[in-house]
Structure 1
Amino acid sequence: MLCLPSCFIYLLEENAMAWKFKRWSWLRIAMVLLLLALLGWGVKAIFFPSKAAPQYTTAKVAKADLESAVLATGTLQAFRKVDVGAQVSGQLQKLDVELGDRVKKGQLLATIDPELAQNEALNAEASLEGLLAQRQSTLLQLEQAKIDLARQHAMLSREATSKQAVEDASLKQRTLQSDLAQRDADIKKAKLTLDSFKTRLGYTRILAPIDGEVAAITTLEGQTVIAAQQAPNLLTLADLDTITVKAQISEADVMKVHAGQAVYFTTLGQPDKRYYGKLRAIQPTPEKVNNAIFYNALFEVPNPTHALRQDMTAQVAIVLEHAKSVLSIPTIALGAKAKDGRYTVRVVGVDGIAVDRQVKTGLNNNVQVQVLDGLKEGDLVVTGDAALGKSEASVTVGG
């Protein structure tokens, strides 16, 4: 009876050792399997790498307004600009306007000392009055000569005088008639002289020849102007209600432009505001700038608020073609051109793989190109292959 517990304890110890052995065997098997799996994955990664899905930079086919234009740099000028000068010499007595003033045609701008011109006019007027008096005296003498000649004829009919006396009376009458004609000619000349001096007197008042703005003042009050050879400039008036734009077109582009084309420009101060016009003319004589040939294209735009000023720089676009709300893609997406004029474009499908497609194009402004057929709105076209392994490799443009 005493050996039973001992036997029982022995059996328990034997079973525990067997269980520990079995557990260790299963653990070794699991570790071996795990090592084999890791080894197989490494071999596959080295010798049979999986292909990563290609990544592209893309752009979405979308509708847009396109235009093709000749770009140029221009300057703004007043539509009309007049240098107001003096036609008589003298001291500038008074200047009635200031820089920037708006004036109307006929408005008084300045006054030149009128004393000299006024004296000349008074002298001419006195000379004319003297000639008129002389004419009146000659006219009275002529009337008396006519009476004397009639009397001599009456006396000759009664043989109360001689033919010589009649001839003398007739000669005196003709002489006085000739003198009267000379007086009339002198009076006419004197009137012209007086009118000239009066005109010169009027020139001492400088009036505005046009509606405009005082753009420059070159002569100040108190200065003496001399108009012996040419009219000295006193000030400049500019009509800024309309602005002329003079755009310089390169000789490479001048063959593309002509009068009547739509044109617009922006200024440095308002780059987002467009001013529209129509090309009026292209000057035939070119200008050479740093050995480059440019032709001046001219057009006008209204300027009622005078926001546009002289000599501003204008960024000008002369529109060659225009297409509104058409399908377009970046020109960089175009591939090789076929003989029929179509281009190859790579289009990304739903599986992320790009396939070639032939498209027909229209207007091309070297940035965007019109798509006439071969694509539909929303398609993604490839604009470039992105480098693998970069987080920013796939970029969608225009989405």
Structure 2
Amino acid sequence: MKKRKIWIILVVALLLAAGGGYAAYTRYFALAEEPPEPTLETATITRGDIVITADGSGELVPTAELELTFRTSGELDEVLVEVGDRVQEGDVLARLETDKLERAVAEAEVELQIAQLELGDVQEGPTDVELADAQAALRDAQVELALAQDAYERTFDSQLDAVADSRKVDFDWWVGYYQGQKARYEEGHLSQADHDWAMAAMIAAEGRWQEAINQALAEEVQAANRVTQAQNGVHQAQEALELLESEPLTDTLGQAILAVDQALLAREKARADLEAAQLYAPFDGTVMDVAATVGEQVGTNAPILTLADLQEPLLCFWVEETDMGSVAVGNPVNVVFEALPDDTFIGEIVRVDPVLVTVDGTPAVQAWASFALGAQKVNLLSGMTAEVEVVAAEARGALLVPVEALREMSSGNYAVFVVKPDGAPDGTLSGELEMRAVVVGLTDLVNAEILAGLELGEVVSVGEIE
């Protein structure tokens, strides 16, 4: 009986020990499975820059490009430039064969001398030296008047024709384009901005047309003033001659004077033809193409060479359709040509085409940018390819907060959780959060510009991590 009691006591003790171990076991693993306290991830408000950009590519195009032709026909005797040469306004670029033209000038000089000698023979006798001088002065004045009138007619015709052939055509195109855009706008298929852009483009084209007309009229006025001065000269010469004449001019003397006048005109024409046999550069530029060869017969409409102005170049470039909001007139651009990877050219957008184009099968926005060469001495060639960075917007020295800290409360309205300090001198944070509304400016993939609501050095929550 005593032995049995001992066994019962041992069994009970074992059961108690087992129960205590199980309790300790469950309590240990229960503690091990408890999640850790969440840790607050924070960021400090800093000051820095945000730049919103869009990337594109393009190629260099000349500001002005002109095919040059001779004003007279003949055999091409000499080409003084090659493709790529830079020339200045007034430089001689090419010459025609001038032997015949030089002979024509010499013959005209001889004919003039003969006419003058015949006139002198007619004037001998009752006509003294003063009469001859007066008659010569009148002839010169008449020749000057004829040349001035001829120059006036050429200036008037050529200038107005140029206006009609260029600026008027351009203006008419923009009028038609605007009318189409206006119809789309009235139907509700076009935005106000695009409608206004089309109207501004039409008005600008009209201004260019009017400017060309005004320039032509100004040149006409100059030519007319020359005619008026020449007419005054003829009138004065006639009055001086009448004072010296003792009797009316005979028919023979009149014919001799007319012969001299005709000889003078023939000589001036021969000289002008000789001058026209040289091709001059109308502006500073670069030779882009030489289309004729020495020995070739060329006419007045045959292009001899092409001259382009690359000193103030334009860049035609394209960006993806999704970046069209970043492309606007006046936006800065940074240009790096593939052939000049170490040089960055600064410019700005001067035009954005109103219609998308297709580049490599993808819709794209086509824009034009101007840039200055500055002190960079480089040789830019038409057609050079470049990478373009468009600066759509930028904020320098702005208050910045990580975008993860923003909480969008409603469309366009944001707030952040500011971590409140505990008031200790060392600036220790209390861990308490204060929701605060903020005004957000520019935003990129990393940071957001804070316009109001936060101060430099404040700490905000950017989320919780376990």
TM-score > 0.5, shorter chain as reference:
yes
CA distance in 2, matches of 1:251, 1:86: 49
Q: What is the identity, as a one-letter code, of the residue corresponding to 2:310?
A: D
CA distance in 2, matches of 1:282, 1:273: 24
Bigger shift: 73-82 or 364-373? 73-82
- TM-score scaled by structure 1? 0.62
CA distance in 2, matches of 1:307, 1:354: 63
Q: Deviations over 1:63-113 (max 9, x none)?
A: 21124567765543345545444444455444444443444444454444x
CA distance in 2, matches of 1:310, 1:30: 96
Is 1:359 the counterpart of 2:437 in the alignment?
A: yes
Do the aligned partners of residues 256 and 129 (structure 1) sit closer, same or farther apart at CA in structure 2, a change above 3 Å counting?
same
The Cα of 1:51 is off from its aligned counterpart by 3.8
Q: Deviations over 1:172-195 (max 9, x none)?
A: 952112202311321232122212
Q: Give 1:289's aligned residue.
A: 357
Do the aligned partners of residues 347 and 245 (structure 1) sit closer, same or farther apart at CA in structure 2, a change above 3 Å counting?
same
The Cα of 1:119 is off from its aligned counterpart by 0.8
CA distance in 1, matches of 2:95, 2:432: 82
Match of 2:107 among 119, 123, 126: 126
CA RMSD of aligned residues (A): 4.8
Q: Deviations over 1:297-326 (max 9, x none)?
A: 543312532165543334242555x43222
Match of 2:250, SS? helix
Match of 1:313 among 386, 391, 395: 386
For structure 1, which runs of at least 5 residues remain unmatched after alignment?
1-21, 148-169, 389-399
Do the aligned partners of residues 55 and 358 (structure 1) sit closer, same or farther apart at CA in structure 2, a change above 3 Å counting?
same
The Cα of 1:133 is off from its aligned counterpart by 0.8
The Cα of 1:29 is off from its aligned counterpart by 5.5
Q: What is the identity, as a one-letter code, of the residue corresponding to 1:194?
A: A
Is 1:267 the counterpart of 2:300 in the alignment?
A: no
Is 1:343 the counterpart of 2:414 in the alignment?
A: yes
Q: What is the identity, as a one-letter code, of the residue corresponding to 1:191?
A: R
1:53-202 matches, within 5 Å, as 53-54=37-38, 60-67=44-51, 74-112=58-96, 114=97, 117-144=98-125, 174-201=250-277
Is 1:39 the counterpart of 2:37 in the alignment?
A: no
Q: Deviations over 1:232-283 (max 9, x none)?
A: 142434434x43344568899689945xx4613132647786533455x447
Match of 2:457 among 365, 369, 377: 377
State whether residues 85 and 235 of structure 1, in contact with CA within 8 Å, keep that contact through their aligned partners in structure 2: no
Match of 1:188, SS? helix
- TM-score scaled by structure 2? 0.54
Q: What is the identity, as a one-letter code, of the residue corresponding to 1:300?
A: F
The structure with the largest alpha-carbon Rg is: 1
State whether residues 74 and 316 of structure 1, in contact with CA within 8 Å, keep that contact through their aligned partners in structure 2: no
Identity, in percent, stands at 16
For structure 2, which runs of at least 5 residues remain unmatched after alignment?
1-8, 129-245, 421-427
Do the aligned partners of residues 121 and 94 (structure 1) sit closer, same or farther apart at CA in structure 2, a change above 3 Å counting?
closer
**Structure 1 or 2: more helix by fraction:** 2
The Cα of 1:125 is off from its aligned counterpart by 3.0
